[in-house]
Structure 1
Amino acid sequence: MSFDPKQAIVIEPKEPATATVIWLHGLGDSGAGFSPVVPMLGLPENHSIRFIFPHAPEQAVTINGGFVMRSWYDIKSMDLLDRADLEGVVASEQIVHQFIQSQLNEGIESNKIILAGFSQGGVMSLFTGLRYPKPLAGIMALSCYLPNGDALPEGVSEANKSTPMLQHHGEQDPVVPVSAGKMAYKALTEAGYQSKWQTFTMPHSVLPEQLVIIGDWIKQCLDD
Structure 2
Amino acid sequence: MSAIDIEFKMTDKQNSISFFKNVRHLLVILALSNLHISLLQPALAQASSDAQVNQIRMSLMLLDAKIRSAPSAEAYFMRGSANAALGKNEAAEADFALAESLKYSTNLFEFYEKRGSNYLVLKKNEEAIAPLTKALALKPSDPSCLINRAAAYFELARYKEALADAQKAVKLYSQSSAAQQLVGTCYLKTGQYQSALPYLNQAVELEPRNFEALHYRGLAYQKLGKNELANKDFAEALAKGYAPGKTFEEVN
State the TM-score, normalizing by the size of structure 1. 0.32
Larger radius of gyration: 2
The higher relative CO (CA closer than 8 Å, separation ≥ 6) is in 1
Relative to its length, the structure with more helix (as a share) is 2
